[in-house]
């Protein structure tokens, strides 16, 4: 199975979100062999986008969640609230959360933990900065992020572990990682997740994110090591996102 996740970040109002979600459904209409698509609109649009996606195969996701299920946490949105609005996925530890909002490994682990125990499937985002890659410490760094989040974590048997490898230098830069870099890191991540958790291969999915567009999506998706893509900028434009969905469909058909 291949996954394509659209992370709309802090963009789009309710009307635009609904229009984009409708457009995505149009792109998938009549396609029997489509990837699993997840749309992550801003919180304010979740409720309306949910209505558009109802009775479709496209899943709803959130971009973040609080560390607790409820309580006196002004401004936070909990996994219970995300369940309530029918979200199936939530991204946790995105590099923008880590760097701009100072989310530590400890906070990311708490969010992952509360999401693991909810009805949602968390997508844990990891990835090294340019300095770490240049110093040949990318794997060491990613290993640290994975261990901090997953080591000893209580993961329900039925719940898969999704990790998005998003090198910080590739996000929004127009400078994506190469296929070789991605395969190498995805193998490493998969092995680390298998070592740190009680999962088998079936229960682990590793996605790539960072300057994915309609031109490069196919070359990533056709790789066995790439279970899917986490798309930022290109998920906001229907033409580009439609091209990425098309790449997913083409890969599935070609690999049958
Ligand atoms: P990008 O963002 O596709 O715009 O590089 C990816 C992400 O931040 O998830």
Atom number in ligand 1 closest to CA 125? 9
User: pTM score, two decimals?
Assistant: 0.98
Question: Which residue, chain included where needed, has tokens 């998706």?
Answer: 221
Q: What percent of the chain has pLDDT over 70?
A: 100
Chain segment 137-154, per-residue pLDDT in tens: 999 999 999 999 999 999
- Probe residue for ligand 1, chosen from 171, 175, 213 as the CB with the greatest number of ligand atoms within 8 Å: 171
Q: What distance in angstroms lies between residue 174's CA and the mean position of ligand 1's atoms?
A: 10
Residue 12: what pLDDT?
Answer: 98
Give the C-alpha separation, 181 to 173, whole Å: 16
Ligand 1: centre distance to CA 211 (Å): 6
pLDDT, position 220: 98
In degrees, rounded to 5, the angle at the alpha carbon of residue 179 between the alpha carbons of residues 246 and 105 is 100
**Is 166 part of the annotated catalytic residue set?**
yes
Clarify whether 94 is annotated catalytic: yes
The sign of the torsion formed by the CA atoms of 191, 192, 196, 199 equals negative
Q: How many angstroms separate the CA atoms of 103 and 110, rounded? A: 11
Q: What is the pLDDT of residue 239?
A: 98
Asked if residue 164 has its Cβ within 6 Å of ligand 1, the reply is no
Distance 168 CA to ligand 1 centre (A): 9
CA of 171 to the centre of ligand 1 (A): 5
Closest protein CA for atom 6 of ligand 1:
232
The strand pairing partners of 36, in sequence order, are 3
Ligand 1 in reach of 7 Cβ (< 6 A): yes
Closest C-alpha to 170, from 143, 138, 201? 138
The active-site residue, picked from 36, 94, 192, 214, is: 94
Q: How many whole angstroms separate alpha carbon 32 and alpha carbon 122?
A: 26
pLDDT per residue rounded down to tens, the chain (256 residues): 999 999 999 999 999 999 999 999 999 999 989 999 999 999 999 999 999 999 999 999 999 999 999 999 999 999 999 999 999 999 999 999 999 999 999 999 999 999 999 999 999 999 999 999 999 999 999 999 999 999 999 999 999 999 999 999 999 999 999 999 999 999 999 999 999 999 999 999 999 999 999 999 999 999 999 999 999 999 999 999 999 999 999 999 999 8
- The verdict on the CB of residue 232 being under 6 Å from ligand 1 is yes
């Amino acid at each position: 199975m291949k996954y394509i996740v659209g992370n709309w970040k802090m963009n789009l109002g309710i009307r635009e979100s609904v229009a984009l979600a409708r457009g995505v459904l149009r792109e998938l209409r009549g396609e029997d062999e489509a990837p699993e698509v997840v749309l992550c609109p801003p919180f304010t649009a979740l409720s309306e986008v949910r209505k558009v996606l109802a009775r479709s195969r496209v899943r709803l996701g959130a971009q973040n969640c609080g560390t607790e299920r409820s309580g006196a946490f002004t401004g936070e949105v909990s996994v219970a609230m995300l369940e309530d609005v029918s979200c199936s996925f939530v991204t946790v530890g995105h590099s923008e959360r880590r760097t701009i909002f100072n989310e530590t490994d400890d906070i990311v682990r708490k969010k992952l933990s509360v999401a693991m125990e909810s009805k949602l499937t968390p997508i844990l985002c990891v990835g090294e900065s340019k300095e770490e890659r240049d110093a040949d410490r990318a794997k060491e760094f990613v290993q640290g992020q994975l261990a901090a989040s997953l080591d000893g974590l209580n993961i329900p048997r039925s719940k898969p572990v999704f990790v998005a490898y998003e090198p910080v230098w590739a996000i929004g830069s127009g400078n994506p990682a190469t296929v070789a870099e991605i395969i190498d890191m995805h193998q490493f991540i998969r092995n680390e997740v298998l070592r740190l958790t009680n999962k088998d291969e079936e229960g682990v999915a590793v996605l790539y994110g960072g300057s994915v567009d309609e031109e490069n999506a196919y070359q990533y998706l056709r790789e066995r090591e790439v279970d899917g893509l986490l798309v930022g900028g290109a998920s906001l434009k229907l033409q580009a996102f439609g091209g990425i969905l098309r790449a997913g469909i083409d890969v599935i058909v070609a690999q049958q």
